[in-house]
Structure 1
Amino acid sequence: MRPVALVTGASAGLGTEFAEQLARRGYDLVLLARSEDRLRRLAAHLTGSHGVECTVLAADLADPDTPARVADDLARRGIVVHTLVNNAGFGSVGRFEDIGAGVDQTQVMVNVAALVGLTRALIPDMLAGGAGAVINVASTAAFQPSPYFATYSAGKTFVLNFSLALRQEYRGRGVKVLCVCPGATKTEFFDEIGTKAAIGPMMSASTVVGTALKALDRDRAYVTPGLRNSLNAHLLPRRPRTLVAAIAKLVTRSAA
């Protein structure tokens, strides 16, 4: 029996690439996103190219009830998830007071609350089986405050710290937890937020996902794909935080 991976945000970008590379590794897939048509096209491609079984779940992770409904649906189908990829997410950019009402609240629901909810819903089966993995997609924005990306960077900091804490809880219990912190990547992300300012060179989704899966194989706690991204994330001074935020503003102010 093949292991099953659930990938959120599977209809585009890193989510599609995670699905592709996991299928190549012999995983059956549960593909979750809002766009059912896109998911069905991806499922047909993965089944035809790799011979894997794909289950399509069209759902909106901004709805607080979605994680519970997904878990119930999987249980009814008899699907036990071995690897959860919490990839779904989006960002907002600009002066905080200019961002549309409700946008940042929805962002927190998708980027943070749904990630926690799905992890909580699916980890018990992993523990019961003595094996499993959770891959949480954060960002290099997780390493410092980012003016004009305030909610996005704060949410990704949560994802990083949450992942590191869970990894310690589950070490020795058969469940790996990895946080992936990519920099700018060639996906639809920047088209959706309406800016490509101040983001620097972009990596391919294929490279980011390949690096992430290799890090999972090695049971890494987190990984920042790309030497430039890793240096920027780790050489930036950690204290004082007000200085870090001021430096970050010099980089991101063109997005305001």
Structure 2
Amino acid sequence: MQEATGLVHKSPRLLGAGVHTAAPGKDYPSHAHTSWELVYYVRGRITCPVGDTTYDATPGTVLLTPPNTWHAEQSRTGYANRFLQVEAATTHPWPRLCYDDADHTLRRVFDALVRETESEELRKLLLAELDLRLRRAAATPPATPAEQLVAQAEQLFEERFATGLRVSQVAADLGISPSGLRAAFARLRNTSPLAALQAVRLRHALAHIRNSTLPLQVVADLTGYHSVSHLTRHIKAATGSPPGALRSTEFRKPPT
């Protein structure tokens, strides 16, 4: 592949992929690989010494460690990640750190590469997509601290919306005050973190209602609403219709 610098970079080759989880305080000791290690953090807060630099990782953070570089993971809250071992030149034009977008594009590709165990052709296509997106990230100006903070909060909303998550918990996990998180959302998203969290819950609740026969109490439980009445109020305010009217005709109960 021809780069703007005139260098030709050989296409990366996937060597392995997997999932790693660790409890709080369960660190991964310092180690190095002869290949690149690409890690997507799904859950938790982790301090990651990589060579001479130390990074703080939260959900949506991607760390890319070149071959023969010593690195470790220090678990602050317990964590989970997706990791890839990839053969590529040490000079391959990837960033050392980047963040996923609001559509969770990078997580989708990481998850697909971890799951795909049968088709080598599909794995090559997925890795080619990831390569392109990471090189694009390397050419993009780094996100500001506030942009990183908001993106990380949005990742936590997606991960934990069904758990009764509170904005104050997210702020604490990100090491910021609730007022600081609200200010960042107001400036960058023109909304509040609570409204953003409620939008995630509403999206998932509507998907259940439109595509299943699940009782409303089950939908409420699955999407983090306190009660059926709480769920119903939010749906009616957002759509103008009660939940029953939004059921697909395929899933509506026949009149008795």
State whether TM-score is above 0.5. no
In terms of Rg, which structure is larger? 2
TM-score, structure 1 as length reference: 0.29
Structure with greater helix percent: 1
Structure with greater strand percent: 2
